[in-house]
């Protein structure tokens, strides 16, 4: 026993020292680079601003298709540098890129839009090109390249630096023909940088063809370093742009949400976490105190991880914060599941030590399944997503992994240490009351009717909105595009000052709702960038006159701009969510040995998404980047809440006499046993978001309002719908008839 006490004391001291070291790291960082510091976390455009650079097309007026293709390709290239860059068309000939702070943003953006054309030539045509002859044949061009990536090929312990190429379907055919006809010869990759001379510096690569390459992938080897391989890959990617661009202007732009949004978010987050800790202690006593300590460690680890993630191009944005909020909820939820199990074991007569061990053992499957399904979604969103979706996926994955570590390792070690050090009385842990089993299955039909009514109202409002505002939903400029007005004023505005002075004038003169006006300041100047839904010529004139008369504005640059969330991005977002949902369904069906569990989970998930969609529709909330993040958060929360119910149903199937009592009793009992968990988790998760809604600036209120609606809906569906849906699918697909038991409950003849 003395050894256990000594080990527990040592363990507690180590924990305290590690947390203290983590707090120091978060505040001050380590080394000259200040690795791990909170101030070193790379923030996105909405939270910290960044660099904005505008390019103009060289040559004749481009086609609409070429402009769209160039925007999309630039978006993919920006994505390799930062997950949160934005690319949009401005006018008919211009493209603007906005990218969060990077080590050398000017160099990065200059390189991204560097003018030039990429061409693959064989020896004969290269000779013609080198002589200045324009009558040469191009084997492939940049449009035929799908991707290029520098890498290291480790063969038998010997490193070789390579550039890996992948071609489009059309490019695969062209490259197969080119390599088949040039075995043993050179193929040149030419990147013309827009000047009039042709010389060796335009030759990006000259590689010998060893054999015909027909599979659509190629490797250029023999490179001297990874930097050379990466530079070649970058050149090839840039050269894939359909149009040649030249830099027109560049600015350092301020945050879209402003400093006040960040400060209030941090304060609200701190208050919310404090409320979570207080609730946990009140609800679970000693385990709640332990969970609070573990949650503190989890937050420190998350902040350090976000700092490190910045070196991989991951920046923190408002949607990313939504991902963190979700994972804080999941971290707390894991503890709630464990502690609820401990209380149940104490009610069953177990000793405190046995109850602790059993609590962790019995909660393990639910925690793992809930987190793995969320990780599946995060992985798919990262692989298939773009822009904001990637950032959300990254923060979600980081948070999920750390929340599992926090609950299953830190909480367990701390709770055992507290027990050994004297916290071994039943009263310190609390005993669960016998759950009251209600007729959830019977009541679910009324809940279903209510849900259908809500969803139908939301769909009906699409037509109402179309009639009133001309759109089914209140799409922001991020989805629809609009008009960008860059104006110079007689003084330098902060974002908050601009919101107070400029926004009302713009709204009054154009009739545009203030909530649809997006402002950005240009650092070191008196300029403000104003983005609004597309204005008519009359509205443009009106806003220029109003800003001139009331705020002494001058030097206007007005252009119509495309959406920052392009059609391709919307397609990728929808496709990624569909794929993630299918994979989660497959996982749930596999883990629970019943595809009906997966089907029920997807139906509940669809319900939650549609109810939140109704909130957007009825209240005409702005639909932009945060809409995507909000929906993804709801998907993650809904699946996690559903897994808890299903895990208890799976467990109870092995211990209850289903043949005697009926499947409805099984479902009702399982819901009753997990009801308090659903309430506790919802309360703790909501606490941070509600505080953020109350304290947050106007730009955050819509976002937090929809999250609140989604979390409440997720708790409602997990209690009232998921179990009954599984019951319905099960009883309607069994071959044996169903009869009523004497108690009036459904009873299958054979289970």
Range picked from 25-39, 317-331, 697-711 for highest mean pLDDT: 25-39
End-to-end CA distance of the chain: 49
C-beta atoms surrounding 16 within 10 Å = 11
Coil, strand or helix at 437: coil
Model confidence band, residue 324 (pLDDT cutoffs 50, 70, 90): confident
Who contacts 668 (Cβ-Cβ below 8 Å, separation ≥6)? 437, 438, 439, 440, 441, 723
Sheet strands (E) in 69-114 = 86-90, 94-100
Task: State how far the Cα of 598 lies from the Cα of 652, in Å rounded to an integer.
Answer: 18
Backbone φ and ψ of 166, nearest 5°: -130, 140
pLDDT, one tens digit per residue, over 161-178 is 999 999 989 999 999 999
pLDDT band at 102 (very low <50, low <70, confident <90, very high): low
Mean pLDDT to the nearest integer, 189-218: 83
- In this predicted structure, the answer to whether residue 568 has a pLDDT above a threshold of 70 is no
Q: Would you say residue 550 has pLDDT above 90?
A: yes
Phi, psi of 184, deg, nearest 5:
85, 0
Kindly indicate the confidence band of residue 112, based on its pLDDT and cuts at 50, 70 and 90: low
**pLDDT > 70 fraction of the chain, expressed in percent and rounded:** 89
Instruction: Give the range among 295-309, 479-493, 569-583, 660-674 with minimum mean pLDDT.
Output: 569-583
Residue whose C-alpha is closest to residue 8's, from 422, 300, 292? 422
Average pLDDT over residues 111-135: 82
Q: Which residue has the higher pLDDT, 625 or 291?
A: 291
State the CATH class of domain 54-114: alpha beta
b/e sequence 208-243, b meaning 16+ C-beta within 10 Å: ebeeebeebebebeebeeeeebbbbbbbbbbbbbbb
Q: What is the pLDDT of residue 449?
A: 95
pLDDT, tens digit, for every residue of 216-232? Answer: 999 998 888 888 888 88
Mean pLDDT value across residues 638-651: 87
Q: What is the DSSP string of 555-582?
A: EEEEEEE--SS-HHHHHHHHHHHHHHHH
Tokens 């709770």 map to which residue?
415
> What are the pLDDT digits (tens) for 704-723?
888 888 889 988 998 999 99
User: Identical fold at 117-240 and 482-561?
Assistant: no
- pLDDT of the residue at 751: 32
- Which among 657, 654, 710 is positioned nearest to 685, based on CA atoms? 710
Q: What is the pLDDT of residue 290?
A: 95
Range with top average pLDDT, 266-275, 352-361, 558-567, 653-662: 352-361
Both tokens assigned to 217: 């992938």
495-513 burial, b at 16+ Cβ within 10 Å, e below that, comes to beebbebbbebbbebbebe
Rounded CA-CA distance 76/70 in Å is: 10
Q: Where are the domains of the chain?
A: 54-114, 117-240, 265-453+567-748, 482-561
The residue among 586, 732, 604, 588 whose CA lies nearest residue 671 is 604
Residues 6 or more apart whose Cβ sits within 8 Å of residue 540: 483, 485, 558
In angstroms, rounded to a whole number, what is the distance separating the alpha carbons of residues 207 and 185?
8
pLDDT of residue 329: 78
How far is residue 226 from each of residues 137, 162, 202, 206, 596, measured CA to CA in Å? 32, 8, 20, 17, 50
| pLDDT level of residue 103 (50, 70, 90 thresholds) | low
* pLDDT, tens only, 394-430: 888 888 899 899 989 999 999 999 999 999 999 999 8
| Residue range 507-517, pLDDT digits in tens | 999 988 887 78
In this predicted model, what pLDDT tens digit does every residue of 455-474 receive, in sequence order?
Answer: 999 999 999 999 887 888 88
Distance separating alpha carbons of residues 395 and 373, to the nearest angstrom: 15
pLDDT band at 390 (very low <50, low <70, confident <90, very high): confident
CATH class of 482-561: alpha beta
State which CATH number among 3.40.30.10, 3.30.70.20, 3.30.1360.200, 2.40.40.20 fits the domain covering 117-240: 3.30.1360.200
Closest CA to 710 of 640, 647, 625, 624: 640
Q: What does the block give as tokens for 594?
A: 């019943």
How far apart, in whole angstroms, are the C-alpha atoms of residue 305 and residue 399? 9
- Six token digits for residue 542: 């009106």
């Amino acid at each position: 026993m003395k050894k256990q006490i000594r080990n527990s004391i040592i363990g507690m001291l180590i924990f305290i020292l590690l947390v203290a070291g983590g707090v120091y790291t978060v505040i001050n960082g380590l080394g000259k680079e200040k690795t791990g510091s909170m101030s070193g976390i790379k923030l996105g455009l909405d939270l910290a601003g960044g660099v904005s650079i505008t390019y103009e097309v060289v040559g004749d007026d481009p086609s609409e298709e070429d402009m769209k293709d160039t925007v999309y390709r630039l978006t993919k290239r920006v994505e390799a540098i930062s997950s949160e860059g934005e690319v949009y068309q401005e006018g008919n000939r211009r493209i603007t890129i906005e990218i969060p702070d990077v080590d050398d943003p000017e160099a990065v953006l200059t390189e991204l839009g560097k003018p030039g054309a990429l061409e693959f030539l064989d020896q004969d045509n290269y000779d013609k090109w080198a002589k200045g002859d324009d009558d040469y044949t191009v084997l492939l061009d940049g449009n035929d390249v799908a991707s290029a990536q520098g890498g290291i090929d480790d063969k038998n312990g010997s490193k070789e630096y390579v550039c890996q190429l992948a071609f489009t379907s059309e490019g695969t055919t062209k490259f197969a023909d080119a390599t088949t006809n040039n075995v043993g010869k050179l193929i040149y990759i030419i990147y013309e940088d827009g000047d009039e001379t042709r010389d060796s510096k335009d030759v990006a690569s000259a590689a010998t063809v060893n054999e015909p390459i027909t599979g659509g992938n190629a490797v250029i080897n023999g490179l001297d370093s990874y930097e050379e391989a990466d530079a070649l890959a970058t050149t090839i990617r840039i050269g894939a742009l359909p149009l040649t661009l030249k830099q027109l202007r560049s600015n350092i732009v301020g945050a879209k949400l402003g400093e006040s949004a960040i400060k209030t978010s941090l304060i609200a987050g701190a208050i919310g976490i404090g409320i979570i800790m207080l609730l946990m202690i009140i609800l679970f006593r000693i385990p709640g105190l332990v969970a609070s300590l573990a949650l503190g460690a989890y937050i420190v680890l998350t902040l350090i991880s976000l700092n490190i993630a910045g070196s991989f191009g991951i920046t923190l944005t408002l949607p990313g914060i939504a991902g963190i909020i979700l994972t804080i909820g999941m971290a707390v939820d894991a503890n709630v599941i464990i502690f609820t199990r401990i209380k149940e074991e104490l009610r069953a007569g177990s000793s405190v030590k046995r109850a602790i061990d059993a609590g962790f053992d019995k909660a393990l499957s639910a925690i793992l399944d809930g987190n793995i399904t969320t990780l599946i979604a995060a992985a798919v969103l990262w692989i298939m997503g773009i822009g904001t979706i990637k950032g959300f996926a990254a923060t979600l994955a980081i948070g999920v992994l750390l929340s599992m570590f926090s609950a299953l390792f830190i909480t367990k070690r701390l709770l055992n240490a507290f027990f050994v050090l004297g916290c071994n009385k039943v009263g310190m842990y609390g005993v669960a009351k016998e759950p009251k089993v209600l007729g959830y299955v019977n009541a679910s039909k009324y809940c279903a009717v209510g849900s259908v009514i809500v969803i139908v109202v939301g769909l009906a409002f699409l037509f109402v909105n179309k009639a009133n505002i001309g759109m089914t939903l209140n799409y922001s400029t991020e989805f629809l595009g609009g008009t960008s007005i860059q104006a110079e004023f007689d003084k330098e505005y902060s974002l908050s000052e601009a919101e107070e002075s400029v926004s009302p004038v713009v709204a009054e003169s154009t009739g545009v709702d203030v909530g649809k006006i997006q402002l950005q300041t240009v650092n070191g100047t008196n300029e403000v960038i104003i983005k609004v839904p597309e204005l008519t010529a009359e509205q443009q004139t009106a806003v220029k006159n109003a800003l001139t008369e009331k705020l002494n504005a001058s030097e206007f640059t007005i252009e119509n701009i495309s959406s920052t969330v392009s059609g391709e991005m919307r397609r990728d977002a929808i496709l990624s969510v569909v794929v993630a949902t299918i994979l989660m369904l497959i996982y749930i069906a596999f883990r629970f040995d019943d595809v009906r569990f997966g089907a029920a989970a997807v139906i509940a998930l669809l319900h939650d998404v549609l109810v939140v969609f109704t909130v957007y529709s009825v209240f005409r909330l702005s639909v932009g980047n945060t809409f995507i993040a909000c929906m993804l958060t709801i998907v993650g929360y809904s699946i996690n809440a559903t897994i808890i119910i299903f895990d208890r149903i799976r467990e109870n199937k092995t211990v209850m006499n289903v043949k005697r009592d009926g499947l409805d009793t099984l479902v009702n009992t399982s819901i009753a046993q997990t009801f308090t968990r659903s309430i506790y988790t919802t309360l703790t998760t909501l606490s941070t978001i509600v505080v953020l809604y109350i304290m947050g600036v106007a730009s955050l209120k819509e976002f937090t309002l929809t999250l609140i609606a989604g979390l409440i809906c997720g708790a409602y569906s997990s209690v009232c719908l998921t179990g009954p849906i599984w019951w319905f699918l099960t009883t309607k697909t069994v071959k044996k008839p169903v009869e009523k038991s004497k108690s009036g409950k459904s009873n299958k003849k054979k289970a």
